Each structure stands twice: as structure tokens, then as C-alpha cells.
């Protein structure tokens, strides 16, 4: 085990026995010495080769965890070309071994992105430090790549469109939903300014994507798009979109760029509009029905009043203009046949007006039919003498009925005008 400190102060622990190292060295003595040193430190030597061609072949066969590559090798290609080919095919860190440190060689070597250089001759400490740092760095980079791939997979799988830009506004990520909604593929959009790809008009203020991007970068706060924000795709298709934009912050809080998350809400907006219109129509219909219902109630009330007035008129006319005279005729007719006819007429008339009398009597709190007749005559303004003549009854009888009516109506011994009270009950 070898312990040390990795980048950013992170603790670094490398178990040498768990790593396999390939050596590419054309000088046999140095190759053997390297193999011995590595074995002594607990590393496993995957292979030892002397040419660039063999280095490529063995790397593909053995898949080592790290390659110690001499820049000068036997064969038609040197260590730098071999490292470039290996890097193209495999994810294996390479440390260059060289006795040459001139700028031209270093510039070529940089293009292959090596994990380190060891200048010959070197001691065990330099060798082991370079190996441990390279293995640690490669492990961390792999974890970062895996995290990025996992995050990218998640973002590509969600149902919303996602576009990310760096601090300069250049597009660095788009998922498939964003590609579909904008009409741009990620390959087309990558490196372009986000305002070229995300062509929106945000709300009544007519703010563009550039305005939104600038606002997020300046404020560092999440910004929601307005409900009537529209996106124009590459082919000219206009969609209503919704959602928000937010800053992307680094480990120390600095803004590295922005991310826009959005969805197509065109159909939802249409449904909302249709729902609002339907609700408005429903309220209008309800108001119209309410007005019609009010008019109908007024009409029904008027018809009810007309019906009651008609019933009362019929009842009063029969009792005033017919029944009293029938009574007189019955008294003046002695012949049984004529009397029978009069009784039939009287009975049929009373049967005709009986429904009216029942409804009318309910207003008058249990008055008898005779009392109802007298009450109706009083209500019409008839004096006692008129009532005596119409009903052919005595003054005492009229007076007695008046007292009974007042008692039943609850106004006996009160200074309440009987006719006025009867008129009030009829309203």
C-alpha cells in the first residue's frame, strides 16, 4: 500500500498489487530494471515490449491499467505515435520515459495527453510517485466521466427539453426533447450561442432568449418563463412553452453557465382557453336562465293572482247574485217539483264553487261558509243593511256573525277595522 495526497488535498490510497503495468522500452537492461522495480513495489507487469507496433498489439491484448512508454522505440513508429494509437482505442493512462527533453518532442508528446513524464535516469521515488499520481488521476477522471454520462443519460431521458450553455452563452448540452422542440440537433447547436437555438419571445414584454440568459447570468437566480412564452423552431414552427431557467454554479459558487428546462404547452394552453371560453358561455347561459326563471316566476305569480282573483269573483258572484235569490225562490215556491229543481241547482252551484270555498276558507282561519259569505261582503264594502237584504237575514244575525268573524281572526275587542283586516288577508 502507498498513501499520499491527491489533487485538491484529497487523500489518495493506491494498492499496487491491484494494478497491471505494461513497459515499452527498447533497451533491454532498462526494461529489466523497470520490471524489477515495479515488481518490488507490488505492481504486476502485464507485458514488456521494445517496439511501437508491439506496444499497440500488447496493449489491446492485455488491457493494462497503465503504460510506461519510452519515446524512442524500435520499429517504424516511436512511442509518441504508439501512445496516440493506444489512446484512440483504449482508455489507458500513459507515462513517457525519455532521455530527451527538447521542446519539439515535448510538443508532440503533449498532443497525446500523457499523464506524466519521467526523465532518465530516475529513482524509485520518482517512478512510484508518477505512477501513483497517474493511476489516481485516471481513476478520478473515469469517475467524473461516468457521472457525466449518467447525468447526460438522465437528462436525455426526461420528458422536458433541456439546454445548457457555458458562461459565454455557447451551447454545451441539449437533450433529445430540446432537439425536437427547437429543430436543432446537438451536433448542429454545439458551440453556437444559445440565443440562436432557443429563439423565444417571453411574455408581453417581448423579451428574447438573450434577455433571459443575461438576466440569469446577472442575477444568479432562477427565472420562470411567462405563461405566453413562445418558441420558434428552426423550421418556423411556433410553440407555446413553459418552465424556467437557472444558473449552473461551480463548487465555489461561481456561475459556470445556465440551464433552460422547458416543455411544449401549446395543447395545454388551447385546452385552458377552451375551458375558459366554455366557463364563460356557461356563466352566460346560467345568467340567461336565471333571468328567464325570474320572468317565469313573475308570470306564474301573476297567473296565480289572476286565478285567485277569478275564483274569488266567481265565489262572490255566486254567493251574492245567485244563492240569495235561490233562497228566496225556495221560500216562495211551495210546489215540491219546483223546490226539487231549485235544490238541485243550489247543490250543483255549491259543488262547483266548493274548491274555491275550501281555498278561501283556509285564509280565514276556519270561518263557516255563512261567515265567509259575510266576510266577502264586508270586504267589498257592503253595510249591514246591504248584507241583510242580500242574505235575507236579520240585523242581529249579521251582528252575531261579525263578532264571530272578529274572534276567529283574533281581533275581537280591538280597534281594528274589520274590512281593512280582511283586505290585508286577501293580499
Domains and CATH numbers, the chain: 2-153 (3.40.50.2300), 160-264 (3.30.450.20), 307-426 (no CATH)
Average predicted confidence (pLDDT) for the chain: 81
Task: Say what the pLDDT of residue 32 is.
Answer: 94
Whole-number Å distance between alpha carbons of 323 and 342: 10
Q: Predicted confidence band at 299 (pLDDT cuts at 50, 70, 90)?
A: confident
Going by pLDDT thresholds of 50, 70 and 90, the confidence category of residue 364 is low
* Ranges 145-149, 348-352, 399-403: which has the least confidence: 348-352
Over 343-397, what HEC string results? Answer: HHHHHHHHHHHHHHHHHHHHHCCCCCHHHHHHHHHHHCCCCHHHHHHHHCCCHHH
Reported as a single tens digit per residue, the pLDDT across 219-230 is 888 877 766 788
- pLDDT digits 0-9 by tens, 332-343: 655 666 666 667
Q: How confident is the model at residue 4 (pLDDT cuts 50, 70, 90)?
A: very low
Distance of CA 287 to the CA centre of its chain: 31
- In this prediction the pTM is 0.47
Phi-psi bin for 80: left (phi > 0), alpha (psi -120 to 50), beta?
A: alpha
pLDDT mean over 48-74: 93
Whether residue 45 is predicted with pLDDT greater than 60 in this model: the reply is yes
Q: Which of 166-175, 193-202, 288-297, 349-358 has the lowest mean pLDDT?
A: 349-358
Contact 161, 263 (CB under 8 A): yes
Ranked by mean pLDDT, the top range of 60-64, 239-243, 319-323, 361-365 is: 60-64
Q: What is the pLDDT of residues 196-215, one digit of tens each?
A: 888 888 765 555 666 777 88
pLDDT value at position 108? 86
Residue 320 is predicted with a pLDDT of 65
Q: Would you tell me how many other CB atoms lie within 10 Å of the CB of residue 339?
A: 15
**What pLDDT is stored for residue 10 in this prediction?**
42
Question: How many CB atoms are closer than 10 A to CB 386?
Answer: 15
Amino acid at each position: 500500500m502507498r498513501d499520499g495526497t491527491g489533487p485538491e488535498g484529497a487523500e489518495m490510497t493506491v494498492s499496487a498489487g491491484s494494478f497491471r503495468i505494461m513497459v515499452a522500452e527498447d533497451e533491454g537492461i532498462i526494461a529489466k530494471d523497470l520490471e524489477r522495480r515495479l515488481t518490488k513495489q507490488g505492481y504486476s507487469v502485464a507485458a514488456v515490449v521494445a517496439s511501437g507496433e508491439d506496444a499497440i498489439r500488447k496493449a489491446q491484448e492485455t488491457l493494462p491499467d497503465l503504460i510506461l512508454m519510452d519515446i524512442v522505440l524500435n520499429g517504424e513508429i516511436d512511442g509518441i505515435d504508439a501512445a496516440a494509437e493506444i489512446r484512440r482505442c483504449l482508455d489507458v493512462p500513459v507515462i513517457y520515459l525519455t532521455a530527451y527533453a527538447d521542446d519539439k518532442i515535448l510538443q508532440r508528446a503533449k498532443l497525446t495527453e500523457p499523464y506524466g513524464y519521467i526523465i532518465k535516469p530516475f529513482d524509485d521515488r520518482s517512478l512510484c510517485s508518477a505512477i501513483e499520481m497517474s493511476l489516481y488521476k485516471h481513476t478520478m477522471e473515469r469517475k467524473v466521466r461516468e457521472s457525466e454520462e449518467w447525468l447526460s443519460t438522465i437528462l436525455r431521458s426526461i420528458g422536458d427539453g433541456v439546454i445548457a450553455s457555458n458562461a459565454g452563452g455557447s451551447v454545451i448540452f441539449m437533450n433529445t426533447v430540446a432537439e425536437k422542440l427547437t429543430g436543432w440537433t446537438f451536433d448542429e447547436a454545439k458551440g453556437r450561442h444559445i440565443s440562436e437555438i432557443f429563439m423565444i419571445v417571453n411574455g408581453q414584454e417581448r423579451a428574447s432568449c438573450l434577455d433571459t440568459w443575461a438576466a440569469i447570468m446577472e442575477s444568479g437566480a432562477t427565472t420562470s418563463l411567462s405563461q405566453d412564452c413562445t418558441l420558434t423552431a428552426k423550421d418556423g414552427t411556433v410553440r407555446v412553452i413553459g418552465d424556467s431557467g437557472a444558473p449552473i454554479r461551480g463548487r465555489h459558487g461561481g456561475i459556470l453557465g445556465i440551464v433552460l428546462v422547458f416543455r411544449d404547452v401549446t395543447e395545454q394552453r388551447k385546452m385552458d382557453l377552451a375551458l375558459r371560453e366554455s366557463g364563460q358561455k356557461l356563466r352566460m347561459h346560467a345568467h340567461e336562465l336565471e333571468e328567464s326563471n325570474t320572468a317565469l316566476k313573475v308570470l306564474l305569480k301573476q297567473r296565480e293572482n289572476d286565478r285567485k282573483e277569478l275564483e274569488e269573483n266567481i265565489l262572490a258572484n255566486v254567493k251574492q247574485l245567485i244563492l240569495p235569490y235561490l233562497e228566496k225562490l225556495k221560500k216562495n215556491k211551495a210546489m215540491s217539483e219546483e223546490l226539487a229543481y231549485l235544490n238541485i241547482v243550489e247543490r250543483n252551484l255549491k259543488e262547483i264553487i266548493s274548491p274555491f270555498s275550501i281555498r278561501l276558507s283556509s285564509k280565514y282561519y276556519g270561518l263557516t261558509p255563512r261567515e265567509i259569505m259575510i266576510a266577502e261582503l264586508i270586504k267589498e264594502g257592503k253595510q249591514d243593511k246591504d248584507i241583510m237584504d242580500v242574505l235575507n237575514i236579520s240585523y242581529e244575525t249579521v251582528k252575531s256573525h261579525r263578532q264571530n268573524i272578529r274572534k276567529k281572526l283574533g281581533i275581537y275587542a280591538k280597534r281594528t277595522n274589520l274590512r281593512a283586516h280582511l283586505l290585508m288577508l286577501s293580499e
